[in-house]
Amino acid sequence: MSVDSTVQDPKQDTATAEDAKWKPKILAFTCNWCTYAGADLAGLNRMKYPADVRLLRVPCSGRVNPQFVLHAFLKGCDGVLVCGCHPGDCHYATGNYFTRRRMLLYRRFLEYFGIEPERFMVKWISGSEAGKFRDTVIEASEAVNKLGPNYKYREEGR
């Protein structure tokens, strides 16, 4: 790596350079039985969506502990998506009903601490809704792009 000696404030310059290169990092918790299959279908259909999203497969959206979401933000994610089966379609019968209650509260809770609600989305996407998966990722990516990188409560700081 070369160092430009003409730069006045190297720290500030690195920050702007990093911001210019910045691409959103969105972590998506996807339920094995619905959303993961939906994402797979989107791939099979050669649907185009931003490559900002990283899928993390979980057995059920009920497996997503609220602290996973907070940890994602602390470790440097700019957005988090939690996706699962539609209510009534849960493979484990009731998992997503609990997720729904938990996430209703947790979204408001994180917003209270200053994390913009657009950064944290919850969506029900079934195995056949490849288009909805694509639209959700596009929506999340656009929202996070608009907000810019998340430095709130982030471990490395700025």
Partner 1 sequence: MASTQDIQSAIRARAGKLLQKEVISCFIGWEAGRFEGQSSPLVVRSAADAQKLIYNDYCVQLLAKYLLTENCSEGKVGVAVRGCESRGINLALKDGQLQRENLHLVGIACQGVKDFSTKEELKKCQECTHRNPIIYDDLIGSEVTDGPRVEDTFAEVIELEALSHDERYEYWSAVFTRCIRCKACRDVCPGCTCNECFTDQAAMGWQGKQSSLAENANYGITRMFHSGERCIECGECERVCPARLPLMQINRKVLKDAYDIFGEYVVGIDDCTPNPLDTYLLEDVEEFM
Angle between helices 66-74 and 95-112 in degrees, nearest 10:
40
**Site map 121..140 versus partner 1, x via CB under 8 A:** -xxx----------------
CA dihedral 135, 18, 82, 141 (to 10 degrees): -10
What is the rounded CA–CA span in Å between residue 29 and residue 51? 15
Q: State which of residues 26, 31, 70, 144 lies at the interface with partner 1 (CB under 8 A).
A: 70
Would you state the structure tokens that stand for residue 85, as one six-digit string? 């089966």
Choose the stretch contacting partner 1; rule: CB under 8 A; options: 4-12, 16-24, 50-58, 95-103.
95-103
Q: Does 9 bind partner 1 (CB under 8 A)?
A: no
Residues 103-122 that bind partner 1 (CB under 8 A): 103-116, 122
H-state helical runs in the chain: 10-21, 35-44, 66-74, 95-112, 130-147
Measured on CA atoms in the order 94, 74, 123, 91, is the torsion positive or negative? negative
Burial (CB < 10 A; 0-12, 13-18, 19+), residue 106, is buried
Q: Does 87 bind partner 1 (CB under 8 A)?
A: yes
Nearest CB to partner 1, comparing residues 54 and 108:
108
Question: In angstroms, what is the minimal distance from the CB of 12 to partner 1?
Answer: 20
Question: In angstroms, what is the minimal distance from the CB of 3 to partner 1?
Answer: 28
Question: In angstroms, what is the minimal distance from the CB of 7 to partner 1?
Answer: 28
Residues in contact with partner 1 by CB under 8 A are 66-67, 70-71, 74, 87-88, 94, 97-98, 100-116, 122-124, 152-155, 157
